[in-house]
Amino acid sequence: MSGARDGNGTGGRPKRPTMVDVAREAGVALRTVSRVVNDDPTVGPEYAAKVQAAITALNYRPDERARQLRTGITGTIGAAVRRIAEVNPELAAIEQTARESGLTLFAASTDFEEAREREILVSMCRQRLDGIIVEPFGENHGYLQPELDAGMPVVAMDRPMSGISVDCVMSDNASGIGTAFHHLTRYGHRRIAYVGDREQVYSGRERAAAFRAALGAHGQSLDGLVHPGEITPERVAAALDTALYGPEPATALVTGSMDTTLTVLRVLGPKAASRLAIVGFDEVPHADLLQPALTVVAQQTAKIGRTAVELLLARMADPGRPVQAVVVPLTLTVRGSGEIPV
């Protein structure tokens, strides 16, 4: 032993044992410890035993950072989503699929802020993660081009990225809106209104456009029926006012996102909500407990999350493969609110 100081004088962290310490304790070479730690079969049994004993005696834990630096791979993928800590089935599916693939998941919230999103993505690149899945929020992702050129695998989820070309998996917004619309026509509704996100964001743009197309295909005019915009109680209340209490009131409603649906229900209040035919785009937590239970066109969130990881794995395996876009259909879940006749 080279000295008596085992602890630390100043109150800083005690120093952890390293491979060198284990090697000294076991009386073998450093390289042999490494072999034992990595289950290298070429190490003799008595050496392995000595090393194992030293490891448990010193409570040695390998330093993942050093390993990653040396091997170049982290075994970790990043997910930059709008909100962890909220209901997010895509993220749950990503985590599970990643685990099944032997990868660790590092998730962070972009929190609906473009600056925050950029901060997270750049940080993930600096950490040299093996790949990144991102639910894009901002409108210009050109700053990622150098990272793509450097071989960083990136997959977009829920909407495409702007300014760069990467793999993408998303819902079929257009036909989902079509499904909601036609479901309501089946119950006799002719004047059907739409309230949804503002058209500045990709999904709001796509869904509003799809709804206009559906109205047009049924020979309906658009006047007073299509209301994209900010999801605030005030704006939604104004939109509902126009749609439901105008000269030709709508008898049914399609809501363009989960937040829209919840805000509409709050603004309408229980009595009005229970009389209006509503189909929501996107699932709502505990939609079955509402009165009436909420009919929705649900995104196949689990499939989307799983596909995102699969696309990422494919790109990690072959960086040169052509960029791929996967579109996932939606499914109608009938619960009551969408089956109120005109």
Binding site for DNA (CB under 7 A): 15-16, 18-20, 28-32, 34, 37-38, 42-44, 46-47, 60-63, 66-67, 69-72
44 touches, from a second copy, DNA, none (C-beta below 5 to 8 Å by class) = DNA
Smallest gap from residue 16 Cβ to DNA (A):
6
Among 33, 55, 106, 308, binds a second copy (CB under 8 A): 106
Q: Which CB atom, from 42 or from 56, has the smaller least distance to DNA?
A: 42
Residue 265 binding target from DNA, a second copy, none, CB below 5 to 8 Å by type? a second copy
9 binds a second copy, rule: CB under 8 A = no
- Rank residues 10 and 42 by Cβ distance to DNA and give the closer one: 42
- Closest approach of a second copy to the CB of residue 219, in Å: 35
Binding mask 172-201 for a second copy (x = CB under 8 A): ------------------------------
Residue pair 194/256 in contact by the 8 Å Cβ criterion: yes
Residues that bind a second copy (CB under 8 A): 11-14, 16, 59, 61-66, 68-69, 74, 83-92, 95, 104-109, 122-123, 125-128, 146-147, 149-151, 262, 265-266, 270, 284-286, 288-291, 318-320
